[in-house]
Amino acid sequence: MGIVQIAVVLAVLVLLVKPLGTYVYHVFSNEPNKTDRIFGSVERFIYGLIGLRNREGMTWKKYVGALLLTNAALTLICYLILRIQQILPFNPNDVGAMEQTLSFNTVISFITNTNLQHYSGESGLSYFSQMAVIMMMMFTSAATGFSAAIAFIRGMTSRGNTIGNFFMDFVKAHTRIFLPAAIIVTLVLVALHVPQTLQSTLTVTTLEGAVQNIAIGPVASLESIKHLGTNGGGFFGANSSHPFENPNGLTNVIEILSMWALPAALPYTFGLFARNRKQGWVIFSAMMALFFVFLATVYSAELHGNPAMNALGIDTSQGSMEGKEVRFGIPQSALFTAVTTAATTGTVNNMHDTLTPLGGLVPLAEMMLNCVFGGKGVGLINMLMYAILGVFIAGLMVGRTPEFLGRKIEPLEMKLIAIAILMHPLIILGPTAIAFLTELGKGAISNAGFHGITQVLYEYTSSAANNGSGFEGLADNTSFWNITTGIVMLLGRYVSMIAMLAVAGSFARKQWVPETIGTLRTDNRWFVGILIGTVLIIGALTFLPAIALGPIAEHLTLG
Amino acid sequence: MKNYGIVAIRASIVFIVICGILYPLACTGLAQLFMPSQANGSLVSNTDGEVVGSALIGQHYDNPAYFQSRVSSIDYNGAGSGSNNYGPSNPVLLQRTKDSIEAWTTANPDVPVSELPIALVTNSGSGLDPHITPASAEVQIPRISKLTGISQERLHELVKKHTAGRDLGLFGEPRVNVLELNIELQTMIAK
Predicted local confidence at residue B17, as pLDDT: 96
* C-alpha to C-alpha distances, A378 to A115, A141, A276, B78, nearest whole angstrom: 15, 11, 21, 36
- Asked if the model's pLDDT at residue A518 lies above 90, the reply is no
pLDDT band at B48 (very low <50, low <70, confident <90, very high): confident
Nearest CA in chain A to B117: A315
Residues 6+ apart with CB under 8 A from B99: none
* Mean predicted confidence (pLDDT) in B17-45: 95
Instruction: Say whether B94 and A308 touch across the interface (CB within 8 A).
Output: yes
Q: Rounded distance, CA A111 to CA A259, Å?
A: 17
* Mean predicted confidence (pLDDT) in A79-108: 93
Size of interface A-B (CB pairs under 8 A): 374
pLDDT in tens, A174-215: 999 999 999 999 999 999 999 999 998 999 999 999 999 999
* H/E element, A427: helix A411-437
> Residue B167 gets which letter from DSSP?
B
Percent of chain B with pLDDT over 70: 99
Q: How far apart are the first and last CA of chain A?
A: 29
Helix axes A219-228, B23-34, angle to 10 degrees: 120
List the Cα angle A442/A443/A445 in 5-degree steps: 75
Instruction: Say whether A314 and B118 touch across the interface (CB within 8 A).
Output: yes
pLDDT in tens, A266-311: 999 999 999 999 999 999 999 999 999 999 999 999 999 999 999 9
Q: How many CA atoms lie within 13 A of A136 on its CB side?
A: 28
Are residues A216 and A202 in contact, defined by beta-carbon separation less than 8 angstroms? yes
Secondary structure class of A214 (helix, strand, coil)? strand
Instruction: Say whether A353 and B20 touch across the interface (CB within 8 A).
Output: no
**Length of chain A measured in residues:** 559
Q: How many CA atoms lie within 13 A of A228 on its CB side?
A: 28
Helix axes A60-83, A100-111, angle to 10 degrees: 140
Are residues A492 and A464 in contact, defined by beta-carbon separation less than 8 angstroms? yes
Is the CB of A541 inside 8 Å of chain B's CB atoms? no
Phi, psi of A148 (to 5 degrees): -60, -40
Q: Write out residues 164-183 of A within 8 Å (CB-CB) of B.
A: 167, 170-171, 174, 179, 182-183
* H/E element, A301: helix A277-304
Q: Rounded distance, CA B59 to CA A546, Å?
A: 41
* Mean predicted confidence (pLDDT) in B1-11: 88
Q: What value does the CA radius of gyration of chain B take, rounded to a whole number of Å?
A: 23
pLDDT averaged over chain A? 92
Is the CB of A88 inside 8 Å of chain B's CB atoms? no
* C-alpha to C-alpha distances, B12 to A70, A77, A112, nearest whole angstrom: 7, 8, 15
pLDDT band at A559 (very low <50, low <70, confident <90, very high): low
pLDDT in tens, B65-97: 999 999 999 999 999 898 999 999 999 999 999
- Asked if the model's pLDDT at residue A443 lies above 90, the reply is no
Is the CB of A211 inside 8 Å of chain B's CB atoms? no
- Asked if the model's pLDDT at residue A375 lies above 80, the reply is no
Residue A168 backbone zone (phi > 0: left; psi -120 to 50: alpha; other: beta):
alpha
Nearest CA in chain A to B51: A204
pLDDT in tens, A468-492: 888 888 888 899 999 999 999 999 9
Residues 6+ apart with CB under 8 A from A273: A25, A29, A153, A154, A156, A157, A158
Are residues A122 and B77 in contact, defined by beta-carbon separation less than 8 angstroms? no
Residues 6+ apart with CB under 8 A from A237: A117, A120, A121, A122, B80, B81, B82
pTM summary value:
0.94
Are residues A267 and A284 in contact, defined by beta-carbon separation less than 8 angstroms? yes
Predicted local confidence at residue A322, as pLDDT: 96
Q: Write out residues 230-289 of A within 8 Å (CB-CB) of B.
A: 236-238, 241-244, 247-250, 252-253
Q: Rounded distance, CA A231 to CA A116, Å?
A: 9
List the Cα angle A370/A472/A305 in 5-degree steps: 85
Residue A370 backbone zone (phi > 0: left; psi -120 to 50: alpha; other: beta):
left
Q: Rounded distance, CA A177 to CA A253, Å?
A: 20
Phi, psi of B75 (to 5 degrees): 55, 40
Predicted local confidence at residue A515, as pLDDT: 81
Secondary structure class of B177 (helix, strand, coil)? strand
ipTM: 0.96
* Set of chain B residues whose Cβ sits within 8 Å of the Cβ of A451: 87-90
Q: Rounded distance, CA A26 to CA A42, Å?
A: 17
* H/E element, A79: helix A60-83
Instruction: Say whether B3 and A46 touch across the interface (CB within 8 A).
Output: no
Secondary structure class of A268 (helix, strand, coil)? helix
CA-CA-CA-CA torsion sign (A46, A47, A48, A52): positive
**If we measure between CA atoms, which residue out of B93, B172, B66, B17 comes closest to residue A335?**
B172
Predicted local confidence at residue A34, as pLDDT: 80
Phi, psi of B83 (to 5 degrees): -150, -175
pLDDT in tens, A215-255: 999 999 999 999 999 998 889 989 999 999 999 999 999 99
Predicted local confidence at residue B29, as pLDDT: 97
Predicted local confidence at residue A339, as pLDDT: 95
Instruction: Say whether B89 and A133 touch across the interface (CB within 8 A).
Output: no
- Asked if the model's pLDDT at residue B2 lies above 70, the reply is no
* Set of chain A residues whose Cβ sits within 8 Å of the Cβ of B131: 325-327
A321 closest CB neighbour out of B54, B60, B122: B122
List the Cα angle A188/A193/A195 in 5-degree steps: 95
Residues 6+ apart with CB under 8 A from A75: A107, A108, A111
Percent of chain A with pLDDT over 70: 100
Indicate the residue type of B65: A
Q: How far is A459 from chain B (nearest CA, A)?
A: 14
**Residue A558 or residue A75, greater confidence:** A75
pLDDT averaged over chain B? 95
Q: How far is B151 from chain A (nearest CA, A)?
A: 22
* Set of chain B residues whose Cβ sits within 8 Å of the Cβ of A558: 88-89
Predicted local confidence at residue A320, as pLDDT: 96
Predicted local confidence at residue A224, as pLDDT: 96
Q: Rounded distance, CA A266 to CA A168, Å?
A: 19
pLDDT in tens, A348-367: 999 999 999 999 999 999 99
